[in-house]
Each structure stands twice: as structure tokens, then as C-alpha cells.
């Protein structure tokens, strides 16, 4: 009941844009979004990526935005990604981009979404920059994987995210691994019912590690997206035991989260990619991430106060 109440509360806050000004004007509250969002502009995001690159980490840029229901808004979002890709290339940054399809007009239909995406993937092709297609709620999974398959069939360098808590994911990963597709594996943060997704943390973690292992065996360069040191070590141990080099995969983490662990992995010779969100839509983004899993509130607080220097 408490989790439901918190979820409703954060969703209510997400629609109160005036709260963004209060958050930025309150020293303690300001630390939260500014810690996890690189800024509101591409210039600020580029500065954050440059700093990460200097420290030895790669990055992936996410232009924050809401789900759109019109073609004009979808094209505007796509244009922002084209600009980001061209900026990455012109400045020689070690970065790629991550895209949510609902921002690209997925609700307008698969064909129209692909039409919106075409300038983005074309920019990726011109510059040699990989385009990651994010995974959202389970209602979008089939359409997301269909779009990835169609873009790849057309010769574009794209790859999806797979969520380990979904019961369907092992079969999806097996197919993607056989095709050598670059996959980011994450646990999944959307509220899904038991018939669709594991509810037990141990089962989710075991599925996560198993999927990473399958992708490693296939040489598909997985993105191992977790902040859990135990899961990181399990994947790293599998790689060592099977003589898989540290250049055959990468660990992926969120901007501002466990920066100490990011440094440790880099010092050990592992590749680390940091997910860098930016844009004016930071406030609803941040609140909706809290609403998806109210336990994230404690995670945020622990990240601020409990991170080892």
C-alpha cells in the first residue's frame, strides 16, 4: 500500500512543472536531479561526456522527452538526436546515443516510427555512431524488437535493450545472440504483473547473469547494465573463466550513480559506458523514474550520501 501511495504521489508531482523551479532553488533537492541529469542543453551534455572520456569512460546520450502522439513532435525529437550524433562526431567524443521509441512516434504505428527514425539512423551510419534502442514497458516489447530487426535488415547499426525480469527475455536474447546483435541487458524498472515478469530479486539477477553469459559466448559485445557489485563480479568471473577479454563487453551505469564503482572498474581495465540524460524534460523524467519504483528514492539517497569517495 505504501508503494502504491508513493507511486501515485510521484506521478502527481511529475505533472506539476512549477515544482521544478522549487527543486532547483532548494540546495538539497537541487543535488538530486543535477546529480543524475547532465543538464538541459546539448552543450552541458557534451561537457559531461568530455569529462567522462577524460576519465576513461564512454558515454551514451539520451535526449530527455515525453511520449509523443503527433508527427511534428516526433520529428522534432528525431532532429535533436541527429544534432547530438553530429556533435559527437564533430568533437570526436567517445559516445553513442540511446533512443526511446515512444518519443519517436511509436504510438503512431511501426511504419511511421521507422520513418521518423530514418534520419537518425542515417546520421549514425554517416558518422559510425551506434544507435541504441531503449526498451520501455512490456506493451511495447514486440514492436520495439520488430523495429530493431527491420532497421538492421536495412543495414543500420542498431541494437536493443532486453529486460531480465521479463519471462520472455531468454528467448529474445537467444535469438539476438545468434544474430550477433549488440544488446544492453538491464533488470527492468517498469511495474509488470507476475504473469509477465519475475517479482523476485534473486530470479531477476540470475536471469540477468545468464543472458549476459549467452551474449558473451556468442561474441555479441553485450552492455552489462547494472550497479550491483555482485552481478558485476559474476559476469566478470564468467568472462575470466572462459578467456573472454575485457574488450568483448562493457559495463554500463547511470550518470551520477556509483561513480566510485565506475572508477574501480576502469582501473581494473574494464570498459565502462555511462548513460547521460539531458534536456528540458528532466523534471517529469526524474519523477517518473521515482514513480516506476518508489524504492528508487532510497537508492537516490544512498547514492548521494553513501557513495564511497
DSSP track, 44-110: HHHHHHHHHHHTT-EEEEEE------SHHHHHHHHHHHHHHHHHHHHTT-SEEEEE-GGGGTGGG-H
What is the end-to-end Cα distance of the chain in Å, rounded? Answer: 36
- Please report the pLDDT score of residue 66 as a whole number: 72
Task: Say yes or no to pLDDT of 309 above 50.
Answer: no
> What is the per-residue pLDDT across 219-232, written as a single tens digit (0 to 9) for each?
999 999 999 999 99
Name the CATH topology of 38-278: TIM Barrel (3.20.20)
Q: Is the pLDDT of residue 304 over 60?
A: no
DSSP sequence for 144-180: HHHHHHHHHHTT--EEEEEETTBTTHHHHHHHHHHTT
* pLDDT per residue as tens digits for the range 68-92: 889 999 999 999 999 999 999 999 9
Whether pTM > 0.85 for this model: the answer is yes
Enzyme catalytic residues: 134, 184
pLDDT: which is higher, 22 or 173: 173
Report whether pLDDT(159) > 60: yes
Amino acid at each position: 500500500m505504501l508503494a502504491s501511495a508513493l507511486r501515485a504521489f510521484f506521478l502527481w508531482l511529475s505533472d506539476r512543472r512549477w515544482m521544478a523551479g522549487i527543486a532547483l532553488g532548494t540546495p538539497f533537492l537541487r543535488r538530486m536531479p543535477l546529480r543524475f541529469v547532465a543538464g538541459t542543453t546539448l552543450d552541458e551534455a557534451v561537457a559531461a561526456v568530455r569529462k567522462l572520456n577524460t576519465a576513461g569512460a564512454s558515454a551514451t546520450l539520451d535526449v530527455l522527452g515525453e511520449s509523443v502522439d503527433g508527427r511534428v513532435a516526433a520529428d522534432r525529437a528525431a532532429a535533436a538526436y541527429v544534432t547530438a550524433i553530429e556533435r559527437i562526431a564533430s568533437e570526436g567524443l567517445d559516445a553513442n546515443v540511446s533512443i526511446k521509441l515512444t518519443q519517436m512516434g511509436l504510438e503512431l504505428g511501426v511504419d511511421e516510427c521507422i520513418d521518423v527514425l530514418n534520419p537518425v539512423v542515417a546520421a549514425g551510419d554517416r558518422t559510425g555512431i551506434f544507435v541504441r534502442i531503449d526498451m520501455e514497458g512490456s506493451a511495447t516489447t514486440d514492436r520495439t524488437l520488430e523495429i530493431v530487426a527491420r532497421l538492421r535488415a536495412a543495414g543500420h547499426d542498431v541494437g536493443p535493450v532486453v529486460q531480465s525480469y521479463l519471462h520472455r527475455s531468454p528467448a529474445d536474447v537467444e535469438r539476438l545472440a545468434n544474430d550477433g546483435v549488440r544488446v544492453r541487458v538491464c533488470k527492468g524498472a517498469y511495474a509488470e504483473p507476475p504473469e509477465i515478469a519475475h517479482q523476485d530479486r534473486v530470479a531477476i539477477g540470475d536471469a540477468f547473469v545468464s543472458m549476459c553469459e549467452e551474449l558473451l559466448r556468442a561474441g555479441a559485445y553485450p552492455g552489462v547494465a547494472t550497479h550491483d557489485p555482485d552481478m558485476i563480479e559474476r559476469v566478470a568471473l564468467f568472462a575470466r573463466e572462459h578467456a573472454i577479454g575485457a574488450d568483448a563487453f562493457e559495463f554500463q551505469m547511470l550518470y551520477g550513480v556509483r561513480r566510485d564503482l565506475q572508477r574501480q572498474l576502469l582501473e581494473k581495465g574494464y570498459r565502462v559506458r555511462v548513460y547521460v540524460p539531458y534536456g528540458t524534460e528532466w523534471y517529469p523524467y526524474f519523477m517518473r523514474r521515482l514513480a516506476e519504483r518508489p524504492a528508487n528514492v532510497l537508492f537516490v539517497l544512498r547514492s548521494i550520501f553513501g557513495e564511497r569517495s
